[in-house]
Structure 1
Amino acid sequence: MAEARPRVWVSQPLFADIVGRLREHFDVDDTAQVTQHGSAAIAAALAGSDGALVTLNDPIGAAEVAGAGRLRAIANVGVGYNNLDVPALSRAGIVVTNTPDVLTETTADFGFALMMAAARRITEGERWLREGQWRQWSFETLLGGDLHGSTLAILGMGRIGQGIARRAAGFDMRVLYHNRSRLPEGIERDCRAQYVDFDSLLVQADHLVLVLPYSPQVHHLVNAAALAKMKPTATLTNVARGGLVDEDALADALSAGRLAAAGLDVFEGEPAVNPRLLALRNVVLTPHIASASLATRRAMVSLAVDNLIAALGFGPDAGRPPTPVNAGQLKR
C-alpha cells in the first residue's frame, strides 16, 4: 500500500500557480475565499495537517496547535510574524518560517510615498477637489511641509529602514535613526545616517517613519509623551505595526494641531480602524498594502512555499528552509 502523502493547509487564497507547487509533494487543503478564521476553525484545520501556509490574518498559538500532533511546520507569508506565538510553537516542536528580504525595496518605496502623501496633503487635496471646493482656492490653500532639505527620522533601521534612508538622498534630507543597536560605520555611511537616542530622534524629526518590529516591549512606544516631544509641523508615518502607536494619543495630537499629519498603513485593531482617525483629514490611511506590488507579493508566496516544502523534508533544500524564524527546531 502506498504511503499516505503529507497534508498541508493553505489558510487563504493565494497565487494558484505558485501554491500549486505544493501539490508535487503534498495533499493540499485550500481555502477558496478570504476568511477570518476563528481559533476553533484554525485548530480544526491544523489537527490533520503536517504543515500550513498562513498569512498575518491567521493567529496561531498554543490553543490552535494543542490537537495538531502531526504539525511540523508553519510558513508565514510576511516578514512580520506577530500573528504567531513562536515560543509556544517552538515548545510544540513546530518550525516557523517567514518571508524577509523579498519585500524590502517595495515596502521602502511605499513608506516614502506615504510620508510624501502625508506631508504634502495629497489625499486631503484630492478629497477637497472631489468635493467641488476648488473655487474656494486661496494662496494659502492646503499648504504642506517640504521633504527636500528636511530631517528624516527613522525608528528601526533594519533593511526597510535602510532602504528608506537611501531614498532620502535624492531629496537632500538629513537622516537620523534610532535602533536597538547602532549600525556598522559602513552602513551608516552608505545611508548617510546619524545615530541618535530616542528622545533626540523625536525632537529633531520633521518626518518620523516607523519601521521597527513589534513586540510587547515596544507596545505604544509612540504615546502621548513621545508625541509631545515632536514639532507641531512634523509628520508621522507607520509602515511597521499598528501596536507601536497609541492611536488615541495620535488622534489627540492631530486634531489639536500638535502634529501636522500622519500616514498610516497599519492599525492596532486591523481590519478595524479607530473611528477617530477615520474622521480626520490630516491623516492618510491605507489598508496594510506596503508590500502590495504584484511582483513582491508573488515573491513572498513563492518563498513561503519554498520554506514549507523544505521544512517538511522535500525539494533541493530538504531540511533547510531558506528563512526560518526558530532555526533551533531544525536540529531536533
Structure 2
Amino acid sequence: MAITTTDHSVPHTSTVPANAGEKVELFVREHDGAPSGPPANRKVVLMLHGRSVPVLAGFDLQHTSYGWAKAIAQAGYDVFMMDLQGSGRSPRPRMEDPCNVNPSQQSAVTPPLTGSRTPSYPYVLNNSQSDQDEVSTVVEYICTKRSVSKVAFIGWSAAAFAMGPYAIKHPGRVESLFLLAPIFPPLGPSNPPTLPAPGFPTHVLTRTGLDQAWQKELKCTGQREPGMLDVAWGALMDNDPIGRTWGKIDSSGHPAGASRYRNFVSWGWNKTTAGQGGVLGGSVPALIVHGEHDQTANTTPPNPNPALDFHVPALYDAITGTHKLLVTMKCAGHSMPWESQHKNLHNLSKHWLQHTRVDGKTEGRFEMDQNGNISPAP
C-alpha cells in the first residue's frame, strides 16, 4: 500500500516554564496509509515517545523491518508521531547550553564544557501539565485536519505520564490506549510541586550508557540482532544535531556525541488517578504490553522513592474498567521496538487497533512467545 509521508509544524503556545507564553511549533510526522474515501472514515493514530528516545528514533527507525509507524500505516491507518518540547525535532528551550546538563553527566559533554558548571537555568524543563497541553494541541490539530472526533493512542515508556491522564480527562478524544512498557509509579504523587521545580533541564545519554542499560535486559539468545546498538545510536544522533557535536574527540577527530533528553517532573499518574471515573478500561479500552525482562518499567530492586518505583502490572490492577488487557512479551526488554520481538509488537498493535481485543478477549493477562503465539498468563 502506498504511504504518503508529511512533516507538520503544529503551532502551540508553550506552557513549559522555560519559554511559557512563547509561540512554538511542535514537530509531527504523518504516515498516511488510509484508503481513499471520506475523510471522516479515516482511522487515525497518534504515537508518543518516552523520556530519552525521540519519536523518529523510536517509531520511525529507518532500518529493515523496524519502522513501527510505517507498519501500522501499511495496514491502512493514518499515523501521526509527535515530539514533545525537549525531545527530537520539537523546540528544546534551555538545552543548547552544555552547562545545563545534569551535573553528574557533565563529563560526557566535555568538550564543549570545560570543568564542572552550575546550570544557568537551575530548573526542571517540562512537567505533566505542559506535556498534556502539547498532546492536546496535537490531538486537536489532527482532529481538525482529518475530520475525526477521536484518535487512537500508542505510547512507549514515559509517554504514559501524558497519554494516560489525558485520556482520563478527555475520553471523548481517545478511541483506545496502547501503552508499551508504561512507566507507572503506583504510589507516585497526585498533586503538582511548585513550578518551576529546582533542578536542571537536560539529561544526556551516551553510546556506552545506552549499551550498558540495554545489556542488563538482554537475557535471551537472539533477543537483539547484531549491529542494532549502532543502528539505534545512529538514529539518536540523527535527531540531535547539537548533541552529536559534544563529547570527547576520538583519534579520527570525531566527537563521541551525546543524546540530549529533557528532565521533567510528573504527577497525577498513580494507582488512584489511573482508576478515576472508570474511564480507562471503560470508554477508553486499554492494552498494556511489556517485555518479560524489562527492568526499566519494572524497577528491580524496588526504589525506596515512591515516585521512582515503577510496576507495569500495577497499572493493569489500577484500571477499574473491564476492557483492559496485559500482554507480557517473552524474550524482550524495555527496548522492544529495537529488538527481535519488534514484528510481533507491530502485529499486536495492528490487531488491537482493528479489534481492541487480544486472543478474542477484552480482559485478562496474556503472554506472547517469540513466534507470536498468544496464551493466557500463568
- Pairwise same-fold verdict (TM > 0.5): no
Which structure dedicates a bigger proportion of its chain to strand?
2
Superposition TM-score, scaled by structure 1 size: 0.32
Larger radius of gyration: 1
Which structure dedicates a bigger proportion of its chain to helix?
1
Superposition TM-score, scaled by structure 2 size: 0.28
